[in-house]
């Protein structure tokens, strides 16, 4: 089988590129209002349908961190990494029911705006800076580096060329505004799902020696049974990444609720819609989330099985670096090398679609926060709509250039040989997500929460996260092993799994916020509450049925692969 991309593969990829470019240009010209109206540019206010919202959510979420990083974790950890996807489906239902009504009823368009409305400008400004740093240093850089790493491995182009090409493609799409991003994401999701399913089918068919994907999956579950457990025992060497029941009742909820409910990058898609449309879009995204492990996790397990059983196709050398360290990040590119000519181009397009859509969405969110929550409030309160849109476009370009530089300088060190890029993103996002979620959840539903309490969660939560990360260097935590709170890492040092650290930080933030708020309330401080009432949380019958189907599927999956 030919290695690398051949002429038919490039033709398929060019078809994808021109379809996205032409459709995006048509959307841009059809709504030239986007050039003048900042809300339309950043939020596509009132113009995204439920299916466009749902598709855009998934296209922006599924990127190199999943296609490459999560496939790598599938190779190393197995099906258990699917918890991030399947628990996200349940999380999206919660966000649709409880979070969206609060945002839309109170006319919230950005997350810093929520903090300003509920607390004060100081809290909003601090968090705006936090988010910008997180989005550029952790998310944008990792998406760009992991994506370029995969594309370089498939195409043979240098990493530098791939980084610059992805950045340029994403900038072009992002400059058209959220409307262009939202509707072109529908095409991106089509290529992503189709290409991903094709790659999975080919891998399973190869495992079954041509007897079909179902037979291949059966062989996979039997031959790699150790990779088909959703809940790890503490003796499992991968427990430190996915600490047992924490994926069901612990830190996984904090990671997901913070990401899906308190994250400008995600909520932005639905904030310009009506509540019924926003809820339908989130429910559609939840159904797509249930499908994602088939596309991004099963391929990683398949590569593990192929190498383990020495099935002709992928050799162990495809997964080894020059230093002899097995590199899980090469699992997905190695799988794509098995595809026949033409289909390889389709999967290459799917991978590129996932990366570009995520880059575009992230860059748009960075531009939204900087323009509306920093520039407009701190530098030019009287800026015109045209000026705001132009500042947004400049921010897109600058943030992407920063990500390019960071990926070239830090990418290899943080996500290179033998490292799991997906786990890197989750752990370092977890430095801020517990405090953010505590600040939001109390801000929603407890009117006595004060702005100083929110500052404690913001700054204090981050400081506590750093302390807990460094704690094993100062204290021997081996005594906590029997309780499942400390596990040996790859260096033999006992540390608290990052998912459990998030739960600890969240609990401390909630307790601290409660005590601070009660103290200030007794001193006469009056907090700014939101417009919230029970009727806001009532859902339609169709939404309830869809949510019940997803919950039933989750129960069935965890029962089958516990």
Mind listing the pLDDT tens digit of every residue in the chain (562 residues)?
445 677 887 887 788 777 777 766 676 666 554 444 555 555 555 556 787 788 777 766 776 666 777 777 788 888 888 888 899 999 999 999 998 888 888 888 777 788 888 888 888 888 888 888 878 887 788 888 877 877 777 777 788 888 888 888 888 767 665 556 656 666 666 776 777 787 788 888 888 887 888 888 888 888 888 888 888 887 787 788 788 888 888 888 998 898 888 877 677 667 767 888 889 989 999 998 998 888 888 888 888 888 777 776 555 445 444 333 456 666 777 777 667 777 777 777 777 777 777 787 788 888 888 888 888 887 887 877 778 878 888 888 898 899 888 888 876 666 554 455 566 667 777 788 899 899 989 988 888 999 999 999 988 988 998 898 888 888 888 887 777 677 877 777 888 888 888 899 999 999 999 999 999 998 888 877 777 777 888 989 999 999 999 999 999 998 888 8
Phi-psi region of 342 (alpha: psi -120 to 50; beta: other; left: phi over 0): left
CB atoms near residue 342 (< 10 Å): 13
Residue spans of the domains in the chain: they are 7-21+41-429, 430-531
SS3 at position 196: helix
User: Any alpha helices (H) in 251-384, and if so which ranges?
Assistant: 251-261, 264-267, 275-296, 298-308, 331-336, 343-368
What confidence score (pLDDT) does residue 551 get? Answer: 93
What confidence score (pLDDT) does residue 329 get? Answer: 64
What confidence score (pLDDT) does residue 325 get? Answer: 41
SS3 at position 494: strand
Pick the CATH number of 7-21+41-429 from 3.30.565.10, 2.60.40.10, 1.20.1730.10, 1.10.357.10: 1.20.1730.10
CA-CA distance, 186 to 198, in Å (whole number)? 18
Tokens at 134, concatenated: 């997180």
CA-CA distance, 456 to 510, in Å (whole number)? 10
What confidence score (pLDDT) does residue 172 get? Answer: 77
- The string of DSSP letters for 333-353 reads HHHHTTSPTTHHHHHHHHHHH
Q: SS3 letters for 41-87?
A: HHHCCCCCCHHHHHHHHHHHHCCHHHHHHHHHHHHHCCHHHHHHHHH
Q: Exposed, middle or buried by CB within 10 Å (0-12, 13-18, 19+), for 384?
A: exposed
Half-sphere exposure of 498 (CA within 13 A, CB side): 18
Tokens at 215, concatenated: 């037979």
Name the helix (H) or strand (E) containing 118. helix 111-118
CA-CA distance, 497 to 484, in Å (whole number)? 9
Eight-state DSSP code of residue 487: E
Name the helix (H) or strand (E) containing 495. strand 494-495
What confidence score (pLDDT) does residue 208 get? Answer: 84
What confidence score (pLDDT) does residue 438 get? Answer: 93
What confidence score (pLDDT) does residue 324 get? Answer: 38
CA-CA distance, 148 to 167, in Å (whole number)? 10
CA-CA distance, 237 to 307, in Å (whole number)? 20
């Amino acid at each position: 089988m030919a290695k690398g991309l051949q002429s038919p593969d490039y033709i398929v990829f060019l078809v994808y590129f021109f379809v996205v470019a032409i459709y995006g240009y048509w959307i841009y010209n059809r709504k030239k209002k986007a050039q003048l109206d900042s809300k339309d540019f950043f939020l596509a206010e009132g113009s995204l349908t439920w299916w466009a919202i749902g598709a855009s959510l998934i296209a922006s979420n599924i990127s190199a961190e999943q296609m490459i990083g999560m496939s790598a974790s599938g190779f190393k950890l197995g099906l258990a990494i699917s918890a991030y996807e399947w628990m996200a489906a349940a999380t999206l239902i919660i966000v649709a029911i409880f979070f969206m009504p609060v945002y839309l009823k109170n006319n919230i368009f950005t997350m810093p705006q929520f903090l300003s409305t509920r607390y004060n400008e100081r809290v909003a400004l601090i968090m705006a800076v936090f988010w910008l740093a997180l989005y550029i240093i952790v998310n944008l850089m990792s998406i760009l580096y992991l994506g370029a790493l995969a594309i370089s491995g498939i195409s043979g182009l240098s990493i530098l060329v791939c980084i610059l090409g992805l950045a340029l493609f994403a900038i072009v799409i992002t400059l058209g505004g959220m409307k262009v991003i939202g509707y072109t994401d529908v095409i991106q999701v089509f290529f992503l799902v189709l290409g991903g399913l094709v790659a999975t089918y080919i891998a399973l068919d190869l495992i079954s020696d041509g007897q079909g994907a179902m037979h291949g999956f059966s062989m996979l579950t039997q031959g790699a049974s150790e990779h088909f457990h959703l809940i790890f025992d503490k003796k499992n060497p991968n427990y430190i990444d996915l600490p047992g029941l924490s994926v069901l009742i612990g830190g996984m909820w904090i990671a997901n609720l913070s990401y899906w409910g308190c994250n400008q990058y995600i909520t932005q898609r639905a904030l310009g819609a009506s509540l019924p449309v926003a809820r339908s879009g989130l429910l559609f995204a939840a159904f797509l989330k249930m499908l994602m492990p088939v596309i991004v996790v099963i391929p990683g397990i398949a590569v593990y099985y192929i190498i383990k059983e020495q099935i002709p196709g992928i050799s162990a050398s495809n997964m080894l670096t020059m230093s002899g360290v097995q590199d899980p990040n090469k699992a997905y590119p190695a799988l794509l090398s098995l595809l026949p000519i033409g289909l390889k181009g389709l999967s290459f397009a799917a991978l590129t679609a996932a990366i570009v859509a995520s880059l575009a969405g992230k860059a748009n969110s960075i531009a939204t926060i900087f323009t509306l929550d920093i520039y407009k409030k701190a530098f030019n309160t009287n800026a015109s709509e045209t000026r705001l849109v132009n500042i947004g476009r400049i921010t897109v370009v600058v943030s992407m250039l920063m990500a390019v530089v960071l990926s070239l300088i830090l990418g290899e060190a943080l996500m290179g040989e033998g490292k799991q890029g997906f786990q890197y993103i989750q752990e370092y996002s977890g430095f801020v997500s517990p405090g953010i979620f505590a600040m939001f959840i109390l801000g929603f539903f407890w009117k006595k929460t004060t702005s100083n309490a929110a500052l404690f969660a913001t700054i204090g939560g981050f400081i506590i996260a750093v302390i807990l990360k460094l704690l094993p260097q100062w204290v021997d935590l081996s005594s906590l092993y029997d309780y499942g709170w400390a596990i040996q890492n790859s260096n033999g040092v006992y540390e608290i799994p990052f998912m459990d650290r998030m739960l600890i930080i969240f609990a401390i933030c909630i307790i601290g916020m409660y005590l601070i708020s009660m103290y200030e309330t007794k001193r006469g401080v009056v907090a700014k509450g939101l417009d919230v009432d029970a009727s806001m949380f009532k859902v339609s019958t169709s939404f309830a049925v869809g949510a019940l189907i997803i919950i039933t599927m989750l129960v069935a999956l965890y029962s089958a692969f516990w």
